[in-house]
């Protein structure tokens, strides 16, 4: 039977056995991971994470463009409702705000109804643009986003690109 002592609560024999196992190496390496192993695993995880973020960057841009196309389709639907009620679409000067509040610029619509809560913005925080009569699409009017650069150019996303 092992008698505990003040210095070794397991008794003198158990302390000797434990010390002998440490000296022989039978307990070394089984207690956990080395610092090198941990650093290696963290490095691998960081590299994989960076690669995943790089791959997702293009996906975010595609998602933004898809959202703009969907918003444009929704706005076109509301313009058609406006046109059906008032026998003509809003003018360029009235713009898309004619779907939000009663236009004060001629022609004043006779059967105006609020069709949207606010003029929609694209994912780059620019309001959608509206031109009547159309300059770029086959429709009666152009509804478009200035895109990522915020400047009217060839990379704009509009109802000329939505109809596929």
CA dihedral of 68, 73, 91, 98, whole degrees rounded to 10: -80
Q: How far apart are CA 144 and CA 79, in angstroms?
A: 13
Is residue 26 scored above 80 in pLDDT?
no
- Window from 55-59, 92-96, 155-159 with minimum mean pLDDT: 55-59
Mean pLDDT (the chain, rounded): 82
pLDDT at residue 4 in the model: 57
Query: Cis before residue 84, ω within 30 degrees of 0?
Result: no
Distance, CA of 78 to CA of 84 (rounded, Å):
10
Asked whether the bond before 133 is cis by omega within 30 degrees of 0, the reply is yes
Least confident of 60-69, 105-114, 135-144, 155-164: 155-164
Task: Answer whether residue 12 shows pLDDT above 70.
Answer: no
pLDDT band for 24, please (50, 70, 90 cuts). Answer: low
In the prediction, which pLDDT does 111 show? 87
Question: What's the pTM?
Answer: 0.63
Query: Would you identify the CATH topology of the domain 33-162?
Result: Glycoprotein, Type 4 Pilin (3.30.700)
Beta bridge partners of 143: 130
pLDDT at 75 over 60: yes
pLDDT digits 0-9 by tens, 114-133:
999 998 899 999 999 999 98
pLDDT, tens digit (0-9, with 9 covering 90-100), for 48-74: 988 888 777 777 788 888 899 999 999
Q: What percent of the chain has a predicted confidence (pLDDT) above 70?
A: 79
163 versus 157: which is more confidently predicted?
157
């Amino acid at each position: 039977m092992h008698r505990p002592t003040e210095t070794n609560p397991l008794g003198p024999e158990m302390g000797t056995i434990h010390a002998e196992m440490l000296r022989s190496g039978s307990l070394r390496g089984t207690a956990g991971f080395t610092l090198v192993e941990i650093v290696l695993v963290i490095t691998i995880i960081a590299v994989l994470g960076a690669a995943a973020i790089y791959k997702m960057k293009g996906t975010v841009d595609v998602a933004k463009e898809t959202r703009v196309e969907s918003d444009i389709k929704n706005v076109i639907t509301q313009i058609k409702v406006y046109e059906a009620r008032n026998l003509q679409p809003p003018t360029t000067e009235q713009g898309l705000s004619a779907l939000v509040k009663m236009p004060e610029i001629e022609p004043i619509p006779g059967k105006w109804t609020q069709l949207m809560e606010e003029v929609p913005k694209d994912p780059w925080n620019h309001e959608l643009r509206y031109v009547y009569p159309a300059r770029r699409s086959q429709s009666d009017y152009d509804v478009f986003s200035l895109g990522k650069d915020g400047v009217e150019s060839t990379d704009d996303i509009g109802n000329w690109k939505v109809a596929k």
